[in-house]
Amino acid sequence: MTIASIFTKASKTFHSYPSYSKLLLLCTLSGGGVVAYAELQSDSRPPSVDPNEPRRKRVVVLGTGWAGTSFLKDLDALKYDVQVVSPRNYFAFTPLLPSVTCGTVEARSIVEPVRNIIKKRRGEIKFWEAECVKIDPANKKVFCRSSVDANLVGSGDFSLEYDFLVVATGAQVNTFNTPGVKENCHFLKEVEDAQRIRKSVIDCFEKAILPSLTDEERRTNLHFVVVGGGPTGVEFAAELHDYVQEDLIKLYPTVKDIVKITVIQSGDHILNMFDERISTYAEKKFGRDGIEVQTGCRVVKVTDKDITMKVKSTGEVCLVPHGLIVWSTGIGTLPVVRDFMEQIGQVNRKVLQTDEWLRVSGCESVYAIGDCASIHQRKIMDDISSIFKAADNDNSGTLTVKEFQDVVDDIILRYPQLELYLKSKHMLSVTDLWKDPQGVDREEIDIEGFKLALSHVDSQMKTLPATAQVAAQQGAYLARCFNRLEYCEEHPEGPKRFRESGRHVFRPFQYRHLGQFAPLGGKQAAAELPGDWVSMGHSTQWLWYSVYASKQVSWRTRMLVISDWTRRFIFGRDSSRI
**pLDDT tens sequence across 467-515:** 999 999 999 999 999 999 999 999 999 999 999 889 999 999 999 999 9
Domain at 313, CATH number:
3.50.50.100
In a domain, 424, yes or no: yes
What is the pLDDT, as a whole number, of residue 28? 33
* 301 and 185 belong to one structural domain: yes
What is the pLDDT, as a whole number, of residue 20? 37
Final residue belonging to a domain, choices 423, 438, 460: 460
* Residues 176, 457: Cα–Cα separation, whole Å: 33
* Residues 139, 258: Cα–Cα separation, whole Å: 60
* 289 and 356 belong to one structural domain: no
In a domain, 8, yes or no: yes
pTM, rounded to two decimals: 0.89
Domain at 439, CATH number:
1.10.238
Number of domains composing the chain: 4
* Residues 369, 71: Cα–Cα separation, whole Å: 9
* 81 and 141 belong to one structural domain: yes
Final residue belonging to a domain, choices 452, 478, 512: 512
* 134 and 198 belong to one structural domain: no
In a domain, 52, yes or no: no
* 284 and 346 belong to one structural domain: no
Question: Which residues of the chain fall below pLDDT 50?
Answer: 1-4, 6-7, 9-10, 12-46
What is the pLDDT, as a whole number, of residue 50? 56
* 139 and 274 belong to one structural domain: no
Q: From residue 511, give the alpha-carbon distance in Å to each of 166, 469, 470, 544.
A: 19, 9, 7, 21
In a domain, 49, yes or no: no
* 227 and 99 belong to one structural domain: no
* 191 and 297 belong to one structural domain: yes
In a domain, 440, yes or no: yes
* 311 and 213 belong to one structural domain: yes
What is the pLDDT, as a whole number, of residue 309? 97
* 241 and 192 belong to one structural domain: yes
> Which domain covers residue 445, as residue numbers?
380-460
CA angle 215, 217, 218 (to 5 degrees): 65
* 213 and 186 belong to one structural domain: yes
